[in-house]
Structure formats: C-alpha cells, structure tokens
C-alpha cells in the first residue's frame, strides 16, 4: 500500500489524545450509606467490570475512527500495473470508433452514443489540468492537438458517423505521432470500439515504449448482412448499344442463408436490370446481370440492394466509359502496311492513325489502347524504351517484324517486356499445326470449334525463343510446339509477337480469314481504362489521359454541390490525381476541367465494416500490444475502472466509511451500553 500524501501520517500522533483522555478521566462517585452493605458487594463488582469494558470499547472506537480519518487524508492506494507516480504530468489520447458499424443500436441508443459517453467518463477520471487528444476514423487535422477537459467534452459531442475505417496499426501510429512530441509526460491511449474481426483480427501493433494502451470494447449485437463486395464487366471495351454482362460479387456475412435478396442496376438514373439472389451463410456468390442500350460517353452506375436492418452498404457505385470510337496507332518503317490498314478501316468503330517509326509522338502513346508495330527494320532504343513504358501502364502492343528485320534490335525491345524474341530466319515450307482455342482471343471467333480448320501456310519465319514461355500463351503453333504467334503479359499490359511479317512471301497469314477477327479481338480486349471503382480510405491515385492545364485552369472533382480540388501531377503519357482523404462520401464524381467532363470516377466504402462479427476476449488478448489492457466497465461507469488502472485501487473512501462506522459505534456505546443496570442477588 502507498500514500498520495504521506506527510499526513504524522497526524497519527493525535492518537495519544483519546488515550490521555481515557487515563485522566477520573470520575467522583457519590457515597450512599446503607445500614448493611453485605448484599451490595456482588453488585458493585459487577458494575465495575462492565464500566471498564465500556470504557475500553469506547477508547478503541475513538482510536480507530481517528486512525482511519488520518489515513483518509493521506490517500492510501494499492498500486496497479500502470500506476502513475504522484506529480507526473500525463497526456491522454482517446480514439472513438465512428465507423459505420457503430450505427448498430443497443438498448441505450447507438454504439456511437455509448462510445461518446464512455470517452467523457474516461476524461472525468483525470485531473482537470490534464491534457487530452481526441481521435476518430477521419484522422482530421484539428484532432492533432491537445485539449483541456472541457474542450475535449465539446469535441466528443461533435463526433459523427464516418465512412472511413482504419486498422489498429494506423490508429496507434496516429496517436503516437502527437504523444511523442510531449516529452516528460506519461502517455496513455484509449481505444473505444466494437472491435470487429474484419478490421482488427490481423493486427500486430507495436506501440513505442512508455505508451500505455487500453482497449474499451462496446458490446454490440451480431446482425445479418449481405453486401456487394465488387463488380466487373466481362467486356474489356464498351461500344454503343452492345450487350454488356456485369458480374456481381455478393457476400453474405451472416450465419444464416440469405434468400431472395432483391437487387437492381441503375445507370445514369435509369434502371437497366433487376434480379433476386440467394447466398448461403458466410459464403460468396457470383451472379451476372445482362443489359444493353448504352449511349457513348461516361456511365454512372449504381447497384441497389434491399437488405435490412444494415443499410450503410446497400449501394455500390462504379463508372465506365462507352467509346464512340477506338483509337489504334499503326507504326511502320515508312511504308503503310496495307493489310493492317484494310483490317481496321473495315469497321468505323476503329479510328486508325498511322506514323513512321521516326516521327512517333511519345507523349500521346497512352491515348491508344492498341499499337501495332510492323515493317520496322531497326527499332531505335528511344522507341523501344517508350513502348516498354506504354505496355507497363496497360497498353497492348502487337509486333509484326519486317521482312529484313534487324533481329538484335527486336530482341532488345521484346526481351525488355518479357516476351519471346526473334531468332535467325528459317526458310522452310510448313503449316500452322495448332490453334489454342482456350486463348481469350478466340472466345467469340468460332460459334463451334472446327474439327479440321484451314490453318495458315508458312514459307519463311523467324523462330521465337522459348525462354519466356512461362508468362506467355500461344495463339498458333508450328509443328513440334514451336511458337508462331504468342501473347505475353507485361506489367499491366500485354504483348503479341508474330513469327512472320504481314508479307505474302513469308506466309498466307495476311490474307487468311483468321487475321481480321484476331486483330479485332486484340483491340477489343486491349486498353488501360481506369478501374470501375475506388475504395474510400485507400491512398489511391487516379490516372487519366493526359490533360493540359493552364495556370488558371484547375481539375476538379464534382458530386452534386460538392467540389474537391485534387493534387494534380503530370507524367509522361498521363495525368495523376491525388485525392488523399478528401473523399468522405461514396458515389460517382465527375473529373472536370472548367465545364468539360474528362472522366467519371466512383468511390465506395470499405467492406471491412460489413462483417458485423466481433472479437471475443481471447481475440482481444491476441491483438493486445505489450503492456496494454482491456477495461471492462459493464453497465457501470468507466471512471472507477480507469482510476483503478491508472492510479491504483483508491482506499480513501473506505477509510472515511470506516471512520464514520467507528464514530457511530462510539455514539452507540455511550448511549446504549448501560453499566448501572439494577441487579438483585442474595436478598431475602
């Protein structure tokens, strides 16, 4: 046991006062004369014994009352493991979880209301001169300062539900960034949350030495919930009035099957599809919606799900662009390739641009989903470097060698993008032996796979090296499984390499029926369009096509009456937008330059909040940082629990109670303990 004010223990010397009073409190007795005292002897002896017992009990009561009164002023306590030394300054950081899951209702209101009440109880356990930090999921700049207790209470009242969701590591790092600037103080951290498994189960936080972390878990009800986790379109390229197929990833977070969940697809405010789905308990289901009738331009799409009582994740937003035309760039050695020109100009959807290898506008390469390189004798190092960067960012490159190609320059380009490269030309009459019908390029080419297809004939070809087959997939093979035409993944893009030029002296591929559908499929599956959606809270970068911005022209993100100005940076071939934490609400945002809409981007809430299951005591113990603890207050106030944790078990109240008890005992002894009780003994 220790004392807050041990100097008061000198007052224990006052215990001598009741003793002295007891010793010198001589009473004079009145003499009563009797004719015969023989019968009073036994009575006198009994009265003297009772009087001594009473006086000793009164003395003990006085001593104990005074003893406990002195102890109460000395403030005794039993130290806890995080007890703060007397006189030390302390800085307290309190995190209130205000994510969507805190909307869950309890008997006393929402979890957020309870969290705000608990935060005030924690603050009330400290001296009024202590300093406090309030932190929420928003990580707002105004919360990176210390507050008095009254300011802290006002800030707590202003906390509202947020779309953000942070991990335990992020929260502790944010708290420490402020607390570490407060040298010479004891640092305490409180996290008030429902502690969902999805957000905290994998945490392995390691706070800095000296930071005392306390977890305050609020008891929430586990509710059934179904949410859309993700979507994707099966078509890589979207054309006006074509049929589209949308795959929806539904996730049932409940322990019971979800049956007949109604769902509808809205595009630009118009309903395009309607469905009803069933998802098994704790399972994921992939379902497909089919729709059509889209016009050219940006499409703002929304999936609406009817799922009660949890409604914060019933909407899912995404956006995509339906192109009126698709640009294709043809790079040649100075003479246009008649076969490539004829192929792409046969469909008005393709906007073909042609340039020789010496006049390529490198800054505009990223505006072309597909680039076809043909009949270039020698590839310059500059062009090779630019094409490498183009493919890495998501572009598609089709390579057809020249009839008299410089194999070494082709090798430099193709090897840098991780594809097979050309070797010394072979003159040999042969025929393509096999089509890889599993390749996505052939997915819609044949209504039914032919049993004996008419495959291209070959007179001369450049063998393709086999060093890069691990990341490639053949389109056509020569006898002996030699590659004739193959595709390779490279960065975010793809490279297709042909073993022959589009020259009839090498093969009949230029006039073969397979050339046109394969080129079209390459184009339709190409492109580096932006993602369908982004997630709020992730530091993602929005990449758009190059935008020239003047001094007084800025790029803005608009959603209704809300306008945001992102940080804009230019890089070769694209414009990057950094939104940081400006996006707080889900929905579709228009990227504008003055009144011109450059793109539409969609943001959704993190689905970490959708799983309304929570850590139990064992789970909390696993994520507890070293030196931290879990405070359980039940239905009572947190003030006493926090006081006991930080200041030890306080005993001064007990001392006052005991002092009052012994004072009452003294009063009762004086008033009701009778020593002159009449007694009759031996009287005849």
State the pLDDT at residue 41: 54
State the pLDDT at residue 152: 93
Of 137-151, 241-255, 446-460, the range with the lowest mean pLDDT is 446-460
Query: DSSP characters for 18-79?
Result: HHHHHHH---PPPP---S--TTTHHHHHHHHHHHHHHHHHHHHHHHHHHHHHHHHHH-EEE-
- Select the more confidently predicted residue: 477 or 620: 477
State the pLDDT at residue 528: 59
Residue 254 pLDDT more than 60?
A: yes
Distance CA 322, CA 298 (A): 6
Of 171-175, 365-369, 466-470, 602-606, the range with the lowest mean pLDDT is 466-470
Half-sphere exposure of 588 (CA within 13 A, CB side): 21
Task: Please choose, from the candidates 199, 58, 184, 89, the residue with its C-alpha nearest in 3D space to the C-alpha of residue 137.
Answer: 199
Predicted confidence band of residue 557 (pLDDT cuts 50, 70, 90) = very high
For residue 360, CA distances in Å to 222, 371, 390, 456 come to: 60, 11, 13, 32
CB 94 within 8 A of CB 123: yes
Judging by beta carbons within 10 Å of its beta carbon (0-12, 13-18, 19+), is residue 314 exposed, middle or buried? middle
Residue 683 pLDDT more than 50?
A: no
State the pLDDT at residue 387: 94
Residue 113 pLDDT more than 90?
A: yes
State the pLDDT at residue 405: 92
Judging by beta carbons within 10 Å of its beta carbon (0-12, 13-18, 19+), is residue 124 exposed, middle or buried? middle
Residue 435 pLDDT more than 50?
A: yes
State the pLDDT at residue 386: 93
Task: Please choose, from the candidates 61, 64, 69, 65, the residue with its C-alpha nearest in 3D space to the C-alpha of residue 9.
Answer: 69
In which residue are the tokens 């004079």 written? Answer: 28
The b/e string for 422-446 (b: 16+ C-beta within 10 A; e otherwise) is beebeeeebebeebeeebebbeebe
Residue 134 pLDDT more than 90?
A: yes
Distance CA 340, CA 518 (A): 12
Distance CA 133, CA 151 (A): 10
CB 608 within 8 A of CB 199: yes
State the pLDDT at residue 618: 82
Q: 0.75 exceeded by the pTM?
A: no
In which residue are the tokens 């001094």 written? Answer: 551
Beta bridge partners of 212: 188
Q: What average pLDDT does this structure show over 221-229?
A: 88
Q: What average pLDDT does this structure show over 428-445?
A: 84
Residue range 397-420, pLDDT digits in tens: 999 999 989 999 999 999 999 899
Residue range 286-334, pLDDT digits in tens: 999 999 999 999 999 999 998 888 888 999 999 999 988 999 999 999 9
State the pLDDT at residue 682: 47
Residue range 258-273, pLDDT digits in tens: 988 899 999 999 999 9
Beta bridge partners of 196: 614
Q: What average pLDDT does this structure show over 333-347?
A: 92
State the pLDDT at residue 36: 62
Q: What average pLDDT does this structure show over 508-530?
A: 85
State the pLDDT at residue 572: 64
Q: What average pLDDT does this structure show over 36-51?
A: 59
Residue 51 pLDDT more than 60?
A: yes
Q: What average pLDDT does this structure show over 67-76?
A: 83
Residue 45 pLDDT more than 60?
A: no
Supply the mean pLDDT for the chain: 84
Predicted confidence band of residue 353 (pLDDT cuts 50, 70, 90) = very high
State the pLDDT at residue 637: 78
Predicted confidence band of residue 279 (pLDDT cuts 50, 70, 90) = very high
Residue 684 pLDDT more than 50?
A: no
Distance CA 391, CA 238 (A): 21
Q: What average pLDDT does this structure show over 358-382?
A: 92
State the pLDDT at residue 157: 94
**E strands along 140-219, which residues?**
186-193, 211-217
In which residue are the tokens 């505009």 written? Answer: 364
Q: What average pLDDT does this structure show over 628-641?
A: 74
Residue 470 pLDDT more than 60?
A: yes
CB 495 within 8 A of CB 414: yes
For residue 438, CA distances in Å to 442, 447, 629 come to: 7, 14, 57
Residues whose CB is less than 8 angstroms from the CB of residue 127 and which lie 6 or more positions away in sequence, other chains included:
none
For residue 392, CA distances in Å to 98, 304, 387, 416 come to: 40, 35, 9, 11
Residue 438 pLDDT more than 60?
A: yes
State the pLDDT at residue 449: 65
- Select the more confidently predicted residue: 550 or 230: 230
Judging by beta carbons within 10 Å of its beta carbon (0-12, 13-18, 19+), is residue 349 exposed, middle or buried? middle
């Amino acid at each position: 046991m220790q004392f807050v004010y041990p100097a008061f223990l000198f007052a224990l010397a006052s215990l001598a006062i009741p003793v002295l009073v007891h010793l010198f409190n001589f009473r004079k007795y009145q003499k009563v004369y009797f004719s015969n005292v023989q019968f009073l002897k036994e009575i006198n002896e009994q009265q003297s014994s009772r009087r001594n017992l009473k006086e000793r009990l009164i003395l003990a009561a006085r001593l104990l009352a005074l003893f406990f009164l002195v102890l109460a002023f000395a403030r005794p306590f039993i130290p806890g493991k995080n007890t703060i030394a007397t006189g030390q300054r302390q800085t307290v950081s309190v995190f209130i979880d205000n994510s969507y899951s805190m909307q869950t209702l309890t008997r006393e209101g929402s979890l957020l209301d309870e969290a705000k009440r608990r935060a005030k109880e924690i603050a009330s356990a400290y001296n009024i001169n202590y300093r406090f930090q309030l932190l929420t999921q928003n990580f707002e700049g105004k919360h990176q300062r210390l507050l008095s207790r009254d300011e802290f209470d006002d800030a707590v009242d202003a906390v509202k539900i947020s779309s953000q969701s942070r991990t335990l590591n992020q929260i502790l790092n944010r708290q420490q960034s402020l607390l570490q600037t407060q040298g010479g103080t004891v640092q305490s951290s409180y996290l008030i949350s429902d502690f969902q498994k999805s957000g905290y189960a994998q945490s392995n936080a390691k706070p800095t030495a000296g930071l005392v972390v306390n977890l305050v878990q609020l008891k929430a009800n586990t509710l059934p919930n179904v949410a859309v986790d993700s979507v994707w379109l099966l078509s890589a390229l979207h054309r006006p009035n074509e049929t589209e197929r949308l795959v929806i990833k539904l996730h049932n977070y409940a322990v019971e099957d979800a049956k007949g969940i109604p769902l509808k697809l809205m595009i630009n405010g118009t309903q395009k599809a309607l469905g009803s789905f069933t998802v098994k308990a704790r399972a994921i289901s992939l379902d497909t919606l089919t729709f059509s009738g889209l016009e050219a331009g940006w499409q703002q799409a929304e999936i609406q799900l009817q799922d009660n009582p949890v409604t914060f994740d019933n909407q899912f937003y995404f956006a995509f662009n339906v192109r009126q035309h698709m640009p294709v760039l043809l790079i040649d050695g100075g003479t246009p390739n008649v076969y490539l020109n004829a192929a792409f100009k046969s469909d008005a959807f393709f906007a073909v641009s042609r340039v020789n290898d010496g006049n390529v506008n490198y800054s505009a390469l990223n505006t072309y989903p597909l680039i076809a390189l043909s009949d270039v004798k020698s590839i310059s190092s500059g062009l090779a470097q630019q094409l490498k960067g183009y493919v890495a960012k998501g572009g598609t490159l089709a390579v057809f060698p020249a009839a008299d190609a410089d194999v070494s320059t082709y090798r430099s380009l193709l090897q840098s993008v991780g594809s097979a490269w050309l070797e010394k030309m072979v003159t040999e009459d042969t025929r393509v032996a096999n089509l890889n019908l599993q390749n996505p390029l052939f997915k819609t080419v044949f209504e039914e796979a032919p049993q004996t297809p008419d495959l291209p004939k070959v007179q001369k070809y450049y063998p393709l090296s086999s060093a890069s087959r691990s990341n490639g997939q053949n389109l056509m093979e020569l006898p002996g499984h030699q590659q004739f035409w193959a595709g390779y993944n490279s960065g975010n893009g793809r490279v297709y390499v042909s073993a022959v030029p589009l020259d009839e002296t090498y093969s009949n591929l230029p006039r073969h029926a397979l050339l046109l559908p394969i080129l079209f499929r390459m184009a339709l599956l190409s492109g580096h369009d932006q993602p369908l959606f982004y997630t709020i809270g992730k530091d993602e970068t929005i990449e758009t096509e190059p935008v020239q911005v003047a001094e007084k022209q800025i790029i803005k993100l608009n959603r209704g009456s809300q306008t945001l100005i992102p940080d804009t940076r230019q890089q070769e071939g694209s414009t990057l937008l950094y939104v940081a934490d400006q996006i707080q609400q889900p929905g579709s945002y228009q990227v504008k330059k003055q009144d011109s809409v450059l793109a539409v981007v969609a943001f959704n809430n993190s689905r970490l909040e959708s799983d309304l299951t929570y850590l139990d005591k064992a789970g909390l113990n696993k994520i507890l940082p070293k030196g931290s603890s879990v405070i359980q207050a039940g239905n009572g106030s947190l003030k006493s629990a926090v006081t006991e944790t930080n200041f030890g078990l306080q005993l001064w109240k007990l001392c006052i109670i005991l002092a009052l008890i012994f004072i009452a005992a003294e009063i009762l002894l004086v008033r009701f303990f009778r020593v002159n009780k009449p007694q009759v003994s031996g009287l005849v």
